[in-house]
A and B are shown apart, each in its own frame.
Chain A
Amino acid sequence: MTALSFANVGKCYKVRGKDTFWALRDFTLDVEPGEIIGIVGSNGAGKSTLLKIVSRITLPTTGAIVVNGRIGSLLEVGTGFHQELTGLENIYFNGAVIGIPRREIDAHLSDIIDFSGVRDFIDTPVKRYSSGMYTRLAFAIAAHLDVENMFIDEVLAVGDAEFQRKCLAKMGDMAKSGRTILFVSHDMNAITRLCTRAVWLERGCIMSTGDPQKIVQDYITHSVPRGDVVNINTLLDRLPEDPTIKITGIQISQNGNTPNVFFRDYPIKIEINYTVSKTEPGLRVFVRILDDRGTMILRSYHDVKGAMILNPGEYTSTLIIPKEYLSHRNYEISIGALVFNQRACTGNIGEGVRIPIQVETIAPTDCYPEEALTYRPLIEPNLIWETVKDK
């Protein structure tokens, strides 16, 4: 017997009178008991609408859903928390709201308070709590919800790195206990780590369903990156004229594609096309990698293997950034040319063409699974370790 069965579920909203807007269309999916389904998609893709329908908060316009077993939804942490009530009072009220019977709360009260780490303030109204305390208490209660089907929306996107780690571990436990979970998140690490299957939604429709790593990769590759798409040709046109060298084209690619987002799990290829009009000793083409604050992380020249005089002609230089070298964060790639010890050919030294890129990871490392951006190193090469037990 399936745990959840969606058949052609759709939700249509009326927008200002006559216009209609389909937030979700023809959603069909069967979920087996114990599956953890991750739902990814850009904002407005219909993820939250789906969770609201299956949680019975709003009704579908079309289709049908059959849910076997009790339903619990955690669409936010601390639903129904009242500012004037104390931590303890809110534990009972919030518990009742999300569906934890009072006797369960009584039985786990000590666990909940310990997990939240607010024991000293449990009789203080929550309006005096810091947002961290508030969130920890709320999650501690939610973690004790024990139903067959759980629908979770971005609950993990709160709190500091340490607390997020704790929450993910708790989610993992829930998953292992055989509960069926539908999980919406923008945190791709969480999706690939926790889910057994993923669904990619876009504009209300299912784009694809399947293995979380594959889906996350598809989603990231096709989704529009943060910020504007950079037109490399426009940047090239803006370069100052140089008597010796003209850069005519740049391609940054991975696995034969030119995606919006790169993966550190594959090599990144940078190809530079240029025309040299006269021989000038010391002419070099360079690539620099900068972090998102503009600090140079590394620099490399086309003749790194040995001096190479560029006689007049058309050239293509190719640079490969090996796999598992960059970290998952935002970088800027700066490409240009200079005459060694004399002048820069492409604007000020180090300027060149600056192309922002976003690097993600498909397989998060198990050591540091859910690090905040600020903890990520500038580069993360695959260094060689060996550990031997001596005694």
Chain B
Amino acid sequence: MKQTIILPNKWNFFGFKEIPKYKELLWMFIWRDIKIRYKQTLLGIAWVLFQPIAMMIILTLFFGVLIKVPSDGLPYPVFFLSAYITWVIFYDGLMRSYASIVQNTAIITKVYFPRLIIPIAGSLAPLVDFTIAFTLLLVLILIYGLTIPYTIILVPILIVWAISLSFGVGAFMSALNVKYRDVQYAIPFLLMVWMYASPVVYPASLVPPHLHWVYYLNPISWIIDGMRFALFGLPMSTQSVIPAITITGIIIVGGVMFFEYYENKFVDFI
């Protein structure tokens, strides 16, 4: 028979080992997030397409036509969209996860389960939107008469990277937000700075080469460049990818450690 021993607070770093037992609950959280996302909207799921299309049109007019930002020889719309939908995986995942613990106060104060499930569900939920937006991108690529290279098989790896990163930051921020609601004001700034520090609206080739070592510490720069390499064969940076991977690892491990450290105190602080 299953035995549970409840002891006073200690750092339960391996609390996440319990998650497989709560797989079903994790799916339910993701399912619920998707279900309620576009409830009581007129356009419903069409918003998933409308948002990237609208952004693409606005930014193409602004950066592509008016400012004439270079796009490494690609049509600006596909150049932008390929980066934008990738950035949105990270952005949306973080937006959903950082507030998730506080938003689910009602559940957390009434039922036990490994709390990490909540930010995990938050960072996985954007996958649905991404799949739809990615299909749109592929259609657009074909419309522009470009070919889809075999390197497209790299895309899932890049997505896993983006989701893991957003999960790591999200786990950290969601735990911090329990005690300090400052997080909800800081996050929009963080995300704005992060987006302009990544090659979303402009190509990385615009960044002076002597700064590339700093620029490519940012994992998102690699993920977006990787996306443009996988889909359009654009060249990758000659910098080493190791520092960015290491930083991702530190963010994930640090985020989870921080989360697990505070997990048992959530209910007392919230």
Which residues in A have some Cβ–Cβ distance to B below 8 Å? 13, 52-71, 73, 75-76, 79-80, 82, 84-85, 89, 92-93, 96-99, 101-102, 125, 148
Tell me the B224-263 residues at the A interface (CB within 8 Å): none
User: Which 4 pairs from chain A and chain B are nearest by CB?
Assistant: A56-B112, A96-B28, A65-B6, A84-B39
Contact status of A85 and B32, CB under 8 A, knowing A56-B6, A79-B107, A97-B25: yes
Of B5, B28, B35, B267, the contact of A97 (CB 8 Å cutoff): B28
- The smallest C-beta distance from B270 to any residue of chain A, in angstroms, reads 10
CB <8 Å contact, B39 and A62: no
Q: Which residues of A contact B5 (CB under 8 A)?
A: 64-67
CB <8 Å contact, B112 and A73: yes
CB <8 Å contact, A85 and B36: yes
Q: Which residues of A contact B40 (CB under 8 A)?
A: 84
Sample of 4 further A-B pairs with CB below 8 A, known A59-B8, A69-B2, A82-B36: A56-B4, A79-B106, A84-B40, A85-B35
Of A58, A64, A85, the contact of B267 (CB 8 Å cutoff): A58
**How far, in angstroms, from A269 to B4 measured CA to CA in the complex?**
52
**How far, in angstroms, from A79 to B106 measured CA to CA in the complex?**
7
B142 close to A (CB within 8 Å): no
Of B8, B28, B267, the contact of A57 (CB 8 Å cutoff): B267
Most chain A CB inside 10 Å of its own CB: which residue of B3, B35, B39, B111:
B111
Of B3, B104, B106, B267, the contact of A68 (CB 8 Å cutoff): B3
Q: Which residues of A contact B111 (CB under 8 A)?
A: 55, 57, 73, 75, 79-80, 97-99
Contact status of A102 and B24, CB under 8 A, knowing A79-B106, A85-B32, A89-B35: yes
The size class of the interface chain B forms with chain A is 20 to 34
**How far, in angstroms, from A63 to B106 measured CA to CA in the complex?**
27
**How far, in angstroms, from A76 to B1 measured CA to CA in the complex?**
27
**How far, in angstroms, from A59 to B104 measured CA to CA in the complex?**
19
Q: B166-182, CB under 8 A of A: which get 1 and which 0? A: 00000000000000000
CB <8 Å contact, B2 and A70: yes
Most chain A CB inside 10 Å of its own CB: which residue of B4, B7, B9, B113:
B4
Which residues in B have some Cβ–Cβ distance to A below 8 Å? 1-9, 24-25, 28, 31-32, 35-36, 39-40, 104, 106-113, 264, 267-268
Most chain B CB inside 10 Å of its own CB: which residue of A61, A85, A97, A125:
A97
Closest residue of chain B to A75 (Cβ to Cβ) is: B110
CB <8 Å contact, A79 and B110: yes
Q: Which residues of A contact B28 (CB under 8 A)?
A: 92-93, 96-97
CB <8 Å contact, A76 and B110: yes
- The smallest C-beta distance from A193 to any residue of chain B, in angstroms, reads 25
Q: Which residues of A contact B268 (CB under 8 A)?
A: 13, 58
CB <8 Å contact, B267 and A52: yes
Of B3, B39, B106, the contact of A66 (CB 8 Å cutoff): B3
Contact status of A64 and B32, CB under 8 A, knowing A58-B267, A79-B107, A96-B24: no
Q: Which residues of B contact A92 (CB under 8 A)?
A: 28
